[in-house]
Amino acid sequence: MPLFRRCRRVVLLTLVCVVGIAFGQKKPFDLTAMLRLNRISDPQLSPDGKMVAFTVMTIDVAANTKPRQIWIVPLEGGGEPRQLTREGNNERPRWTPDSKSILFVSTRSGAQQIWSMEPDGSKPKQLTSIVTEASGVTISPDGKRMIFLSSVYPDCLDEACNKRKLDEEAASKVKARVYTSLLYRHWTEYQGKRRQHLMSAAIDGGDVKDLTPGPRDVPPFSLGGPDDYAISPDSREVAYVMNGDENLATSTNADIYVVPLEGGESKKITNNPGADLSPAYSPDGKYLAYRSQTKAGYESDRWRLTVLDRTTGRYDSITDGVDRNVTSFTWTLDSKRFFFVTEDRGRHNVQQIASTGGGSRPIITGSISADDVQFTRDGRTIVYTEMSGSKPTEIMKATSGGSPVPLTRLNEAILAEYDVRPLEEIWVDGAEKARVHSFLLKPPAFDAKKKYPVLFLIHGGPQGAWGESWSYRWNPQVFAAAGFVVVMPNPRGSTGYGQKFTDDINADWGGKVYEDIMATVDRVATEPWVDSERMAAAGGSYGGYMVNWMLGHTNRFKAFVSHAGVYDLRSMAGETEELWFPIWEFRGMPWENPEVYEKWSPSYFVRDFKTPTLVLHGELDYRVPVGQGMQLFTGLQLQKVPSKMVLFPDEGHWIGKPQNTVLWYQTFLDWVIEWTKKQQTPPAVPATPAQ
């Protein structure tokens, strides 16, 4: 496999030149512009290497929907992308091995089922009619069978039983829930009587077989990433992920199991105390690779790439020398190497490593984030996605000896209308002289002779990071278009700067992180085009926690926005669902380690709250339950601090519905603009020393 050396470059968004429109006349990239964009995902290269199918999400604000449709684009010849589906929601295109059909998930029949169509979108055919619906389709390499996901009643052995129980549950007037174990609710839903199982069926019809019967969800809940199930190259076996521990609320110990494709007894093949996810067979079938963590109960441990020899049973962690998370990976077709994606200083780069380990080499780097790497059969061309802070996801290809070429330009014409600016970078010395990295975005039509207000965005996680990536939930271009210099610091706890940098936040939530952020604030305040008297800060989840912490520890900001922020650590530990998180972060539950909870809880510093604060929260948020936002608002109101609370009864941790998104951005911007006006001055109070 030749190296794609010419991919190692800085890729900046090339805006289309519009005749008669000068650069200074372009419009600020506001919320309306963001909602116009096509959101590309899930590219799938056909086995014959001729076409790429992918999913496009658009936003219909008036209908309050986010429809998904399947598109296709030729790999050669410069053909334009074409939309294949239009009726209902359609996603997850998967090619049959002969490249003559595409299987996909569709709601066009009124229920979510598996369908097939020809590559031009013709001859659509419904393949499943399962009463519990279907998702996540994958096709066996021999093209005879498919696997998919469905939420079924564990004690049901057939379709008739599932239908009867669904009807009984819908007709019952009693809606009480009864639980005898933890993790009884998760993310935005309470645990019901059904469980997600992996199912198998012949593509040409026949009985559906439950491959993972029992009381467990397969695979476990995920916020994204590679599939947690795969079919072996000989089409005989399925590898899947399941957490078999007794108490799921305190365990991250997901393991990999295998089961015959046509059903049978499952066998666990990993015994690591941390999480094992993303199984992928080598093309020759001799090995199974997966992403692995070594520490039990720590969801932010470093993700390593591990290879299991199916013959000898030997495990090899081949990326131990790479002090970065492996976020995805792809086998080369000769089963001798991997192309894998790592997070590094705000970028997702592609590297190459031998399947036996050793040194890794960069393949795709620069001021972009790359992912979804796939190969043509001859190994000479790769297809991948890329994005940056100034460019949403598009699909690219790179051929040996040539430069990367875009296969899609679905957003190019829209972006050409707007003053979309590249992210800049700054570094400062934070706590203990650690180097702290931030991204910075200047407003449209920036004039260095003027002074601008500053909006600091604090990321969540806390083990997360801002990067050269496009965001729709916290889009810096939209915030900058409102006239702000936007600063996105990656303080202690951030990923992409080495595992120690990430681990330094453990049991130290308001310590080094706060110092890192305030060092960044000091650095930005020295710029001649920054008005240091008009600064605001905002964050969600842990970012909301940090805003709440800053409320009691500094008066340098004119306004705060706290979205889904942790406020009282003791009550948070008793209300949240994934208990492994507080147990790890605070070294136990509140009754086991009360000193840490008291030391770092913003609720202990309410008397020092002075800064005007907007509180935003979803009532279906079970990760950071809505009571955290309510307690914060109560404290602000009783302290007579200017404050506003907006609750979204139909949203969870993230705000997703289009009309709610509009309200969220408008309320957010109205608040920070109001309090950073030159004539607006919040109540004067003595400075509170940082702790």
- Looking at residue 85, what is its pLDDT? 98
Angle at 87 between CA 221 and CA 110, to 5 degrees: 60
Mean pLDDT of 202-229: 93
Residue of 386, 482, 392 lying closest to 36 (CA atoms): 392
Q: What is the pLDDT of residue 513?
A: 98
Give mean pLDDT, residues 370-384.
95
Over residues 615-619, the mean pLDDT reads 98
pLDDT band at residue 393 under the 50/70/90 scheme = very high
CA distances from 259 to 13, 284, 487, 527 (A): 46, 19, 49, 61
Question: Each residue of 619-646: pLDDT tens digit?
Answer: 999 999 999 999 999 999 999 999 999 9
Q: How far is CA 164 from CA 134, 135, 422, 517, 598, in A?
A: 18, 21, 56, 56, 51
Q: Which two tokens stand for residue 71?
A: 């598109």
In a domain, 587, yes or no: yes
Give the residue numbers spanning the domain of 480: 421-675
Predicted local confidence at residue 350, as pLDDT: 96
Main-chain phi, psi angles of 455, to 5 degrees? -115, 115
Report CA 613 to chain centroid distance, whole Å.
Answer: 27
Q: Taking the mean position of all CA atoms in its chain, how far away is CA 116?
A: 28
Predicted local distance difference test score (pLDDT) of residue 206: 85
Kindly state whether residue 526 falls inside one of the protein's structural domains: yes
pLDDT tens-digit series, residues 168-190: 999 999 999 999 999 999 999 99
Q: Residue 679: what pLDDT?
A: 55
Q: How confident is the model at residue 10 (pLDDT cuts 50, 70, 90)?
A: very low
Whether the bond between 219 and the residue before it is cis, its omega within 30 degrees of 0, is: yes
pLDDT tens digit sequence for 550-576: 999 999 999 999 999 999 999 999 999
Q: For position 365, what pLDDT does the model report?
A: 87
Does position 353 have pLDDT exceeding 50, yes or no? yes
pTM above 0.85, yes or no: yes
In a domain, 632, yes or no: yes
Q: Is the pLDDT of residue 680 over 60?
A: no
* 3-state SS record for 258-270: EEECCCCCCEECC
Q: Name residue, tokens 């790497």.
A: 373
CA 595, 596, 598, 604 dihedral sign is positive
> Has residue 74 been placed in a domain?
no
- pLDDT per position as a tens digit, 113-140: 999 999 999 999 999 999 999 999 999 9
User: Does residue 685 belong to any structural domain of this protein?
Assistant: no
541 falls within a domain:
yes
Please state, in angstroms and rounded to a whole number, the distance separating the CA atoms of residues 436 and 517.
9
Encoded tokens for 360: 């890794």
> Are the C-beta atoms of 650 and 596 separated by less than 8 Å?
no
Q: How do residues 498-519 score in pLDDT, each as one tens digit?
A: 999 999 999 999 999 999 999 9
- For residue 630, the SS3 value is helix
CATH of the domain at 666: 3.40.50.1820
Burial of 565 (0-12, 13-18, 19+ CB in 10 A): buried
Question: What digits encode the pLDDT tens for the residues 239-278?
Answer: 999 999 999 999 999 999 999 999 999 999 999 999 999 9
Distance CA 627, CA 620 (A): 11
Domain count within the chain: 1
Let me know how long the chain is: 691
pLDDT band at 224 (very low <50, low <70, confident <90, very high): confident
The share of the chain scoring above pLDDT 70, in percent, equals: 95
User: What's residue 223's pLDDT?
Assistant: 78
Residues facing residue 259 across a β-bridge: 238
Task: Tell me the pLDDT band of 400, cut-offs 50, 70 and 90.
Answer: confident
- Is 573 contained in some domain? yes
The confidence score (pLDDT) of residue 48 equals 97
Question: To the nearest whole number, what is the mean pLDDT of the chain?
Answer: 94
Report the Cα–Cα distance between both ends of the chain, in Å, rounded: 54
Residues 468 and 389: beta-carbon distance below 8 Å: yes
What's the pLDDT tens digit per position in 426-454? 999 999 999 999 999 999 999 999 999 99
Q: Is residue 203 a contact partner of residue 127, using CB atoms and an 8 Å limit?
A: yes
Is 273 within the bounds of a domain?
no
pLDDT at 630: 98
Average pLDDT over residues 147-176: 97
What is the rounded distance in angstroms from the CA atom of residue 25 to the CA atom of residue 22? 5
